[in-house]
Amino acid sequence: MNRLLTPSVKQHFIFLIFVSFVFSNPVIASNSETPPQSAIASAHPLATQAGIKILQQGGNAFDAAITVASVLAVVEPYSSGFGGGGFWLIHDAKQQRNVFIDGRETAPQKAHPKLYQNNQNEVIRSLSINGPLAAGIPGQAAALAHLAKHYGNLPLSTTLSDAIHYAEQGFPVDKVYRKLAAYRLKAMQEERTTNAIFLVDGKIPELDHLIKQPALAQTLKRLAKAGHTGFYQGETAQYLVKNMTDHGGIWTLEDLANYQVIERAPIEFDYQGYHFISAPPPSAGGIALAQMFGMLQHHTMPQHQSVEQIQLLAEVMRRAYRDRAEYLGDPAFTDIPSKLTSSSYLQQLSNSITPNKATPSSELKPVLPPNQGTDTTHYSILDDQGNRVSATLSINLPFGSAYTDPDTGLLLNNEMDDFSSQPGVPNSYGLVATEANAVEAGKRPLSSMTPTFIESPDSLAILGTPGGSRIITMVFLGALEHLNQAPVENWVSRPRFHHQYLPDVIQHEPETFSSAEKKQLERHGYKLKPVGRTYGNMQAILWNLKEKKVTAASDPRRIGNSLTLNH
Report phi then psi at 335, rounded to 5. Answer: -80, 115
pLDDT above 70 for 293: yes
pLDDT in tens, 78-87: 999 999 999 9
Query: How far is C-alpha 352 from the chain's CA centre?
Result: 30
pLDDT in tens, 399-415: 999 999 999 999 999 99
Q: Give the C-alpha separation, 517 to 230, whole Å.
A: 56
Q: Is 49 exposed, middle or buried (0-12, 13-18, 19+ CB in 10 A)?
A: middle
Q: pLDDT at position 15, please?
A: 33
Instruction: Using a pLDDT cut of 70, give the percent of the chain over it.
Output: 90
Q: pLDDT at position 5, please?
A: 35
Q: Give the C-alpha separation, 388 to 436, whole Å.
A: 32
Q: pLDDT at position 65, please?
A: 98
Confidence of residue 374 (pLDDT cuts 50, 70, 90): low
Model confidence, pTM: 0.93
Architecture of domain 19-29+264-366+449-566: 4-Layer Sandwich (3.60)
Q: pLDDT at position 435, please?
A: 75
Q: pLDDT at position 406, please?
A: 98
pLDDT above 90 for 121: no
From the list 14, 47, 76, the residue with the least C-alpha distance to 389 is 47
Beta carbons within 10 angstroms of residue 384's beta carbon: 18
pLDDT above 80 for 155: yes
Confidence of residue 430 (pLDDT cuts 50, 70, 90): low
Torsion of CA 448, 322, 525, 450, to 10 degrees: 20
pLDDT above 60 for 179: yes
pLDDT in tens, 303-355: 789 999 999 999 999 999 999 999 999 999 999 999 999 999 999 999 999 99
Tell me the mean pLDDT in the region 196-215. 98
Indicate the SS3 state at residue 439: coil
Half-sphere exposure of 421 (CA within 13 A, CB side): 27
Q: Give the C-alpha separation, 564 to 554, whole Å.
A: 12
Helix (H) or strand (E) holding 50: helix 45-56
pLDDT above 60 for 2: no
CB within 8 A of 348, min separation 6: which ones?
none
From the list 87, 127, 103, 10, the residue with the least C-alpha distance to 442 is 10
Confidence of residue 420 (pLDDT cuts 50, 70, 90): confident
pLDDT in tens, 461-500: 999 999 999 999 999 999 999 999 999 999 999 999 999 9
Beta carbons within 10 angstroms of residue 200's beta carbon: 13
Per-chain mean pLDDT for the chain: 92
From the list 134, 73, 142, 127, the residue with the least C-alpha distance to 107 is 134
Q: pLDDT at position 302, please?
A: 87
Q: Give the C-alpha separation, 45 to 47, whole Å.
A: 5
Q: pLDDT at position 19, please?
A: 41
From the list 287, 53, 310, 11, the residue with the least C-alpha distance to 162 is 53
Q: pLDDT at position 303, please?
A: 78
pLDDT above 80 for 164: yes
Confidence of residue 367 (pLDDT cuts 50, 70, 90): confident
Range in 57-61, 195-199, 212-216, 334-338 the model is least confident about: 334-338
- Which residue in 376, 465, 512, 551 is the catalytic one? 376
pLDDT above 70 for 429: no
Confidence of residue 143 (pLDDT cuts 50, 70, 90): very high
Confidence of residue 437 (pLDDT cuts 50, 70, 90): confident
Please give the sequence-ordered ranges of beta strands (E in DSSP) within 233-386, or none if there are none. 262-264, 267-271, 274-278, 375-382
pLDDT above 50 for 7: no
Tell me the mean pLDDT in the region 427-439. 65
pLDDT in tens, 257-279: 999 999 999 999 999 999 999 99
pLDDT above 70 for 133: yes
Taking each helix axis from N to C end, the angle separating 214-226 and 234-246, rounded to the nearest 10 degrees, works out to 140
pLDDT in tens, 18-41: 344 444 444 444 456 899 999 999
Q: Do residues 155 and 227 lie in contact, with contact meaning Cβ atoms separated by under 8 Å?
A: no
Report phi then psi at 207, rounded to 5. Answer: -55, 140
From the list 483, 472, 464, 471, the residue with the least C-alpha distance to 560 is 464
376 flagged as catalytic? yes
Q: Which residue ranges does the chain devote to CATH 3.60.20.40?
A: 19-29+264-366+449-566
Range in 302-306, 385-389, 451-455 the model is least confident about: 302-306
What CA–CA distances, in Å, run from 481 to 167, 269, 299, 468, 470?
38, 18, 17, 21, 17
Instruction: Using a pLDDT cut of 90, give the percent of the chain over it.
Output: 86
